[in-house]
Structure 1
Amino acid sequence: MTRPFRFGVVAPITTDLPTWRACVRRVADSGYSTLLMPDVPQWQPAPGPTLATAAALADLRVGTWVYASPIRPAWMTAWEAHSLSVLTDGRFELGIGTGRPGIEDELREKGLPIVPPGERLGQVRETVRALRDLDGPDRHTPVTIAVRGPNARALAAEVADTVTFTQMPDEPRGEIARLARDFLAVRDLELALHVPFVGDARAPFMAPPGADPAAVRAADSLAILPDDPAAAAEEIQRRREEIGFSYFVFGADFADKLAPVVAKLAGR
Structure 2
Amino acid sequence: MSIPFRFGVLAMRPAATRTEWLDRARRAEDDGFGTFQVSDHFDRSPASPLLTLAAVAQATSSIRLGTLVLDNDFRHPAVLGKELATLDVLCDGRLEVGIGAGWMPADYAVSGLPFDPPGLRVDRLAETLAVLDAVLGSPEPVTWTGEHTRVTGLRSVPAPRQQPRPPLLVGGARPRVLGLAGRLADVVSVNIDVREGRVGPQATRSALADAVDEKVGWVRAAAAGRPVAPELHLVAYWAEVTERPEEAAARRIAAAGLDLAPRELLASPHCLIGPRAQVTERLLQARERWGFSYVTVYDSDAASLTPVVAGLAGT
TM-score, structure 1 length as denominator?
0.88
Structure 2 residue runs without a partner (length 5+): 139-162, 193-202, 224-228, 241-247
The separation in 1 between residues aligned to 2:24 and 2:127, in whole angstroms, is 34
Determine if the alignment matches structure 1 residue 9 to structure 2 residue 9: yes
Q: Percent identity?
A: 31
Determine helix, strand or coil for the equivalent of 1:54.
helix
Aligned residue number for residue 26 of structure 2: 25
Q: 2:256 aligns with which of 202, 210, 216?
A: 210
Q: 1:78 aligns with which of 77, 81, 100?
A: 81
Give the aligned CA root-mean-square deviation in angstroms.
2.5
Q: 1:142 aligns with which of 141, 163, 167?
A: 167
Determine helix, strand or coil for the equivalent of 2:212.
helix
Q: How far 1:123 moved relative to its partner?
A: 2.0
The one-letter amino acid of 2:65's match is V
Q: How far 1:13 moved relative to its partner?
A: 5.2
Q: How far 1:209 moved relative to its partner?
A: 5.7
The one-letter amino acid of 2:235's match is H
Determine helix, strand or coil for the equivalent of 1:259.
helix
Determine helix, strand or coil for the equivalent of 1:163.
strand
Aligned residue number for residue 51 of structure 2: 49
The separation in 1 between residues aligned to 2:237 and 2:59, in whole angstroms, is 25
The one-letter amino acid of 1:62's match is L
Deviations 1:27-63 (A, max 9, x none): 1011111000010222323111101111221121001
Q: 2:179 aligns with which of 146, 150, 154?
A: 154
Given that 2:42 and 2:107 are in contact with CA atoms closer than 8 Å, whether structure 1 keeps it comes out as no
Deviations 1:70-114 (A, max 9, x none): 2332333332222222221221111111123xx233213212122
Aligned residue number for residue 192 of structure 1: 233
Aligned residue number for residue 147 of structure 2: none
**1:234-253 equivalences in 2 (<5 Å):** 234-253=281-300
Given that 1:95 and 1:144 are in contact with CA atoms closer than 8 Å, whether structure 2 keeps it comes out as yes
Aligned residue number for residue 226 of structure 1: 273
Determine if the alignment matches structure 1 residue 174 to structure 2 residue 210: yes
Given that 2:174 and 2:215 are in contact with CA atoms closer than 8 Å, whether structure 1 keeps it comes out as no
Which structure has more relative contact order (CA 8 Å, sep 6+)? It is: 1
Given that 1:169 and 1:216 are in contact with CA atoms closer than 8 Å, whether structure 2 keeps it comes out as no
Given that 2:11 and 2:46 are in contact with CA atoms closer than 8 Å, whether structure 1 keeps it comes out as no
The separation in 1 between residues aligned to 2:29 and 2:7, in whole angstroms, is 11
Q: How far 1:256 moved relative to its partner?
A: 1.3
Q: 1:98 aligns with which of 98, 101, 116?
A: 101
The separation in 1 between residues aligned to 2:46 and 2:212, in whole angstroms, is 30
Q: How far 1:213 moved relative to its partner?
A: 9.3
The one-letter amino acid of 1:30's match is D
Given that 1:232 and 1:261 are in contact with CA atoms closer than 8 Å, whether structure 2 keeps it comes out as yes
Q: How far 1:174 moved relative to its partner?
A: 1.2
Given that 1:193 and 1:247 are in contact with CA atoms closer than 8 Å, whether structure 2 keeps it comes out as yes
The separation in 1 between residues aligned to 2:81 and 2:120, in whole angstroms, is 17
Larger Rg: 2
Q: How far 1:214 moved relative to its partner?
A: 6.3
**1:55-74 equivalences in 2 (<5 Å):** 55-59=57-61, 60-74=63-77
Distance 1:131 1:172, change over 3 A: same
The one-letter amino acid of 1:255's match is A
The separation in 1 between residues aligned to 2:179 and 2:100, in whole angstroms, is 13
Aligned residue number for residue 254 of structure 1: 301
TM-score, structure 2 length as denominator?
0.76
Q: How far 1:217 moved relative to its partner?
A: 3.9
The one-letter amino acid of 1:92's match is L
Q: How far 1:142 moved relative to its partner?
A: 0.5
Given that 1:4 and 1:246 are in contact with CA atoms closer than 8 Å, whether structure 2 keeps it comes out as yes
